[in-house]
Structure formats: C-alpha cells, structure tokens
Structure 1
Amino acid sequence: MADSSIGFPQEDALQHLLSVLQVEDTQFETKLQSLQNLLRRIKPNESANILRIKFKAVVRARDEAILRQALEEHATQAEIPEQVKETLNRVLDLLGEASQSSGSYSATLEQAIRELESAKNMVEIRRLSQHLIDQGTEMVAASNRFRDGLGEIASAVNQYQDRIRELEAEVEERTREAQEDNLTGSKNRRAFEIEAEKAIAQARANGSSICLLLLDLDHFKQINDTYGHQVGDDVLVNFAKLVRARIRREDALFRLGGDEFSVLFCHLTLDQAAESAHRIHQYVSKNPYVYKDLKFNLSISGGLTELDDGESMESWFKRTDELLYRAKRGGRNRIIWS
C-alpha cells in the first residue's frame, strides 16, 4: 500500500520537482527526462520508500548539476593557473616575433598581445585564443595565396627572361646580318668602322701594334663587262675565301664595297703584316681563276700601314688608301707598305 506521508500525488510531486530543477545543462535535462519516464511507471501500490529513493535521485542529480555549474563559473573567474601563464608568455614571445616579421597582420597581432597580457580570466583567454586561431587561419590562407602569387610571378619572370633571351639572340643575329656582306660572307664596312675603333683602343691600352691592309682587285669592272656579273660575283666570293685562308683567326677581313677589301692585323708589326699581305698577293697572281670553261688571271693592288701613336681612325685609313692608289698608279699588281 502506498505511503500517504508524501503529501501530494505522484504526478504533482514530479511537476514540482521539475519546476525546481531548472538548470541549463543538456546532460542533466536528459537525466531528468529519464527519471520522468521512470516515475511515470510507478505503480499505485509502490512503497513510499521506493518513491523516496527515486525522488532523492532526482534531487541529487539536480544538486550535481547546480554544483557543476557553480564550479565552472568559479573556475572561469579564478586566477589564471601558473602553467597557463608560462604557456601564455611563450605564446606572447612568439606573437611578438611574428608581429615583427608580419606586414598585413602586424596591427592585429600587436593588439592581441596587449589583450592577452591584460587578460583577467580563462574566459578572455579562450576568446582571444579563438580569435588568434581564426586570424592565423586567415594569415595562412593569405600566405598561401601570396606564395601562389609568387609562383605566378616567378613563372612570368621566367617567361619574360626567356623572351629577353630570344630577343637578345634575335638582336645578335640581326646585328650580325647587318654587319655581314651577303655575297662574300665577309664583314661589311659598318662592321669595319666598329671593329677598327675597338682594335685601336685595345692596341693603345695594351701598347701593341695594329696594321691595316686595303686591297682592290685590278680591272674588276672589265671582268664584269666581259664575263658578266655572275662571274664577277663568283670572283669576289672566291677571293674572300682565299684571303681568309691566308690570315690568322684573330685577323679580320672586311668587304668595304665593290671589289675593295680590308684586313685588320692585330698584334702584328708592319713587317709581319707585310709577310701576310705578300702571301695573299703571290697566290692571286700565280694561280689563274677558273669558272666553268673560263680561265683567266687576276691581280690585286694594296696599301699597308701601321697605326701611328695618337693617330685617328680617319687619318690612318686615309694614309693607307693613299698607298693603295700609289700601287694602282704605279702599274697595279703590287702592295706598297710604309
């Protein structure tokens, strides 16, 4: 038989307990729901002792929830533990270093450092920690974007450098073409003007000698008129090959125009350059020119000089050219040096 000392019906007692046990705790509410379901299964003839045990269980659960909430509130308001302080100091040091090396997030990090240093409890530290995590995540994302951007920039720079190299090669090729005689493959007058000035500067800097040879094919106009320009062109091509085969690699052959050629002899005295000029002259005069069924003799005239101290390019060229005309006026087929 049920004990009437409880003083109110079971359902009323349950509702009363539930109204008292208002604690915001999900787990406790789950426990209350379980106890409520249990109480609803109480039989009318169940003893008062059983009811009392079950009601005490509800009250104990309520007390545990209230105590747990109170302890949590007390913990959040308590002083920050020493271990947390040590960790926080290390974090602040790291943040300080990051603040010095960061551009975009410098102000954010400095503000976070100030707030962490003045934090009063764990609640503030939790909030700031989450804020820093969020900021750090964004910083990592920004860093990744920056890294990707650097990758794109590096790729663009590589492409730009490749293009520069292509342009440089193109410029070099065009410069070479602009300074090369298309017919004979020799360097042209423009190249002569450039290289002669450089050779003069180097000779003066090194105290070395440099000689200039000017050559003309004798009666070349008559060859063109008699045999045609195709033969005349072939004569020029073969003459250029002949000269290049009889000078050193460091010497340079130039076609100045028409049948006029020049040779720069670097680091040779006048006597040494005269030996080279003589070999060229002898070979041309002793070996007939042959083209298909044609065969005829060629001869050349030339003037050779060594650069004087302080002499200009114009003066040097004019002096050499005068010797060339002396050779022509003297009967051609000879080289005069002075």
Structure 2
Amino acid sequence: MVSKPASEYARETLKQIAARRLQPTPDNYQAIYDEISGQLTQPAFPQMRLRQIARVMPGQTPGQQRLLGQLEAAVEAQDWTALQRTLVGYAALGVTPVPVAVADKPGESDALNTVFAEHLARLIDNVTASLGEDDERVRQLGQELIAWLRQPMPALPETEKLLSNFSYRLSFAAEDQSAIRATLLMLLHMVFDNVAVLSQDDAWLQGQAQALRDAAVPPLTLRRLDDVQQRLKDVIFKQSESKARAIEAQRQMRELLATFIDRLAQMDESSAAYHSQLSHCAERISQVADLQALRPVLQDAMSATQAMAQKSQAMRTELHELRQRADTANAEIERLRQELERTSAQARHDPLTGALNRKGMEEALRREISGSQRHDAPLCVALLDLDNFKALNDRYGHAAGDGALLHLANVTRSAMRPQDQLARYGGEEFVLVLPGTTLEQGVEALKRLQRELSTHYFLSNEEHVLITFSAGVAQLAPEEEPASALRRADQAMYLAKRAGKNRVVAA
C-alpha cells in the first residue's frame, strides 16, 4: 500500500465522519483514521494507573520486594514485555496473607500483636479527641482501652470486652454530636432568617445574611467554609466602606435641609420687616403737609426696598446653591445604594469561578420556572461533572484543579446564550439552566459545548491538558420540583460516566 502524507489521511477521515454522520469524538476519529491509513495506533501506555496498582502490591517477602522493583522499572520504561514477565512472576510466587495477630511464644495465640495494638490505640485516641470534652464517660473508657492496648501483648478476650464497651458508649456520643450539630445549624438558620426579616430595607445586610445561610447548608467542608469566610470578609469590607460613605452623604443632606429651612425662615422675617417699614412709611406719608417733608419718607421707603431686593437676590443665589448641593448628595446616595446592592449580590456567586452558587441557582430556577409556566415554554437543567478531576489534582496540584474549574466556567459562559445560567453545584459539578429548551435541544447544546471545550486546551505548567466533562440533561415536567429534575439529571450524568465519560445522556 502506497503511504500518503498524514494530512491527506486526516482530510479523508473528516470527510468519512461527516458522510457516516458520526460524532467528531476522539475515539471515532482514531478508529476511522486507522481504517483509512491501514495502521493500528498503539494505545497509550497507562503509566499512572500501573503506578497506582504498584503502590498497593504486596512487598513483605524478599521475593515480593524483588518483583515489585521489577514492576516499577517496567512501568518507568513503558515496557509491556517486562511488565508481562513481572506479573507472571507474581502469579507463580503467590501472596501469603499477613496475619493480624501473631503468636511470638507458645500459648500466646490469644494475644494481640504489639504493633497492631498500638495502631488501634492511636485510632481510639484520635476518635476520643475529636469528641471534645462533652462526654466524660467516653473519654474514661477510651483512656482505659488505650492503657490496656499499650501494655505488652494485651489479651484478646479482655481487649474485645473493653472495645465493645467503648464502641457501645461511642455510638451514643456520636448520635449526640450529630443531634447537637443539626440543632446548632437550625438555630443559626433561625438567627440568619431573623436578621434578614429585620433588615428588609438594608440590601447590604440581606446579602451577608444570605451568605451565612449558604455556608451553613450541609455537607460542610473546611474548604467551602474557608471560601465563604474569605468571600464574606471581602463583602463586609466593601459594604462597611460604602455604608460609611452613604451615612456621610445622608448627614450632608440633613445639613442642607436644615440650612434651607433656616434661609426660608430668614426670608420670612425679612419680608415681615420690609412690610412693617412700608406700613410705617405709608403712615408717615398720610401725615405729611408739604412735599419737602415727603422727601425723607420716600428716601426711607426706597432704602428699605433696595435692601429687601439685595437680600432676596442673595437668598435666591444661596438657595440655588443649596439645591445643587442637595441634588449632588442625592445622586451620591443613589450611587452608593446601587453599589451596596451590587456588593451584596456577590454573596450569590461562587468566589472561584464567578458562577452562581447554590442560592443563586435556586433563585434563578425559581425565576425561570415561573417564566416557563407563564409562557408555556420548556425548561431544561443539565448537570456537568468534570472528568478525571481527582487524577488532574493528583498530577498537577490543587491550583491546577482550581484553574481547570475556572477554564470550564469561562468556556461555558462564552458558548452560552445570554438567557442561560451557569451555577457551581459543588466540587467539580456545575448546573446549566436552559430556558426555552426542549430535552433534545438541551442534549445537543451540551454536545456543542463539549466540542467547544475540545478546541480550548487548558494550560498547566506549560503543558496542554484536554478538559472534558460528562453530563446529564433533564427537562422539567409540569409542576415538577427543581430538586427532582436535578436528581434525574444527576442519574443521567452517572450513566454518562459509566458509559465511558465525555458523554451526554438524556434523563
């Protein structure tokens, strides 16, 4: 067969994919390329998987240790032949189970191995410490059991008895801790709800209360709490800064109003004095006998009129300035109010990706469900889960994992319609709310997003990494609750994972 340039094989492969109406996935492309070129592409060597297997292979005996070294060397060299030879050696060698309890002397078969007893004592010590000071009886039983386990070769029957008593008491303590935690969360929610009710007119305080409510929703993780704490600190700082400026603007407004009222009072007093002077002049005019005596009266009347005109002009100018300052202060108050509302709204977004958090997603779903029912339009929700996220974290680090989540969110936003909503559901899971979309259209939209993501590689430490996701899509039925649709989408997403990942399944 005459060999052709790789570019010709590639063009022909794309033509065949289009002619056969196949999805342009990497697997389909590779299969048709191999068919056209007549060559079988060697599959990638699963180095990472084999290293994970090597870490759990037994290495207690010298023979096992020797074969384990050969296995690691074969994986490092990506040598299939050496790998096969090593696995055959393991099969021939066999694996001897390591006993938990070993008898060092005759008659000691009912005693625990000292090393195993120490591991058990450490476990009980850690469990007891995690309970705090709430249950003194559990602590006492735990200390007794630890002291017993740390003596030489503790007897198995007595160990079983002490361990049974400890675990029985521990079960009650665990139930108490669970009930205490649930009650504390309920009390916190009551406090947050009360704060929200009492601050209906303070949008900035509403946002903080909502952020605290979101933080107190199980399951709780330290990373989630740290993220919310940092986000809340930023919001509180911005809100306190904006609130101080708003209070200052309101103070200036009150001062302006007080000055305005004072000037009006002065104008009233001046007007009354002017009318009194004119009345006095009129009375003097009625008593004047000749024109010569009339001159000083007219002079007084003209002087009063000029003084009143000057005062009126000055008052008019000052009131105009007061009005301008009041308009400026009012505009500043409105600007600060909008800024506070924007700052408060940040508590409804995920701090890493900028997508909606769970609370923001619930609000968006309520709005879209209401609009869907009002206009009799379809509505879909899709649940996306990043493929191989744990492996990506293990290989490149958590910073790269966060970058991959941000990359997925940015690509998704760029490919979304303006009316679509993206929310981070938790960990590496995202939810897409697709208004005016049928189930078939939703599946096709997610497939388009997969193709878009395949054209944008994620860069980590100068290495291009292809990010993929598996997704489930569900169309809300009439009167269906959002939680039910999300569960169906989650089940469909799980099927997509089981089917090989980088797939979209309709619920």
2:394 aligned partner: 225
Q: Secondary structure in 1 aligned to 2:422?
A: strand
Whether the 8 Å CA contact 1:210–1:266 is kept in 2: the answer is yes
Q: Secondary structure in 2 aligned to 1:181?
A: coil
Counterpart AA for 2:485? R
1:142 aligned partner: 311
Matches within 5 A, 1:3-14: none
Q: Secondary structure in 1 aligned to 2:360?
A: helix
- Determine if the alignment matches structure 1 residue 237 to structure 2 residue 406: yes
Counterpart AA for 2:403? D
Counterpart AA for 2:329? Y
Cα offset, 1:325, TM superposition: 3.1
Matches within 5 A, 1:1-338: 104=269, 105=271, 109=275, 116=282, 120=286, 129-130=298-299, 132-168=301-337, 170-171=339-340, 173-175=342-344, 177-282=346-451, 291-292=460-461, 294=463, 298-311=467-480, 315-328=481-494, 331=498, 333=501, 334-338=503-507
1: CA distance between counterparts of 2:305 and 2:491?
87
The C-alpha deviation readout for 1:8-42, integer Å capped at 9, x for no partner, is xxxxxxxxxxxxxxxxxxxxxxxxxxxxxxxxxxx
2: CA distance between counterparts of 1:268 and 1:182?
28
2:227 aligned partner: none
Number of equivalenced pairs: 234
CA 282–120 in structure 1, closer or farther in 2 if over 3 Å, else same: closer
Q: Secondary structure in 2 aligned to 1:214?
A: strand
CA 141–206 in structure 1, closer or farther in 2 if over 3 Å, else same: farther
2: CA distance between counterparts of 1:111 and 1:206?
74
2: CA distance between counterparts of 1:157 and 1:224?
57
Cα offset, 1:172, TM superposition: 5.2
Counterpart AA for 1:320? L
Counterpart AA for 1:328? Y
The C-alpha deviation readout for 1:293-315, integer Å capped at 9, x for no partner, is 6566654232323344444xxx2
Q: Secondary structure in 1 aligned to 2:316?
A: helix
Whether the 8 Å CA contact 1:324–1:335 is kept in 2: the answer is no
CA 219–244 in structure 1, closer or farther in 2 if over 3 Å, else same: same
2: CA distance between counterparts of 1:270 and 1:145?
73
Whether the 8 Å CA contact 1:213–1:262 is kept in 2: the answer is yes
What is the aligned-residue identity percentage?
A: 26
Q: Secondary structure in 1 aligned to 2:417?
A: coil
Cα offset, 1:232, TM superposition: 0.9
Counterpart AA for 1:273? G
Cα offset, 1:157, TM superposition: 1.5
1: CA distance between counterparts of 2:459 and 2:284?
104
1:18 aligned partner: none
Whether the 8 Å CA contact 2:492–2:506 is kept in 1: the answer is no
CA 126–289 in structure 1, closer or farther in 2 if over 3 Å, else same: closer
1: CA distance between counterparts of 2:455 and 2:318?
72
2: CA distance between counterparts of 1:132 and 1:267?
80
- For normalisation by structure 1, the TM-score amounts to 0.55
Q: Secondary structure in 2 aligned to 1:302?
A: strand
CA RMSD of aligned residues (A): 3.8
Larger deviation, residues 161-170 vs 231-240: 161-170
CA 135–257 in structure 1, closer or farther in 2 if over 3 Å, else same: farther
Q: Secondary structure in 2 aligned to 1:263?
A: strand
Cα offset, 1:152, TM superposition: 3.3
Cα offset, 1:284, TM superposition: 5.1
Cα offset, 1:135, TM superposition: 3.9
Cα offset, 1:229, TM superposition: 0.6
1: CA distance between counterparts of 2:442 and 2:493?
17
Counterpart AA for 2:437? L
1: CA distance between counterparts of 2:446 and 2:402?
23
Whether the 8 Å CA contact 1:301–1:324 is kept in 2: the answer is no
Whether the 8 Å CA contact 1:220–1:232 is kept in 2: the answer is yes
User: Where does structure 1 lack aligned partners over 5 or more consecutive residues?
Assistant: 1-101
CA 144–285 in structure 1, closer or farther in 2 if over 3 Å, else same: closer
Counterpart AA for 2:390? K
1: CA distance between counterparts of 2:363 and 2:486?
18
1: CA distance between counterparts of 2:465 and 2:479?
44
2: CA distance between counterparts of 1:299 and 1:322?
21
2: CA distance between counterparts of 1:262 and 1:169?
28
Q: Secondary structure in 2 aligned to 1:183?
A: coil
1:80 aligned partner: none
Counterpart AA for 2:470? S
2: CA distance between counterparts of 1:197 and 1:132?
75
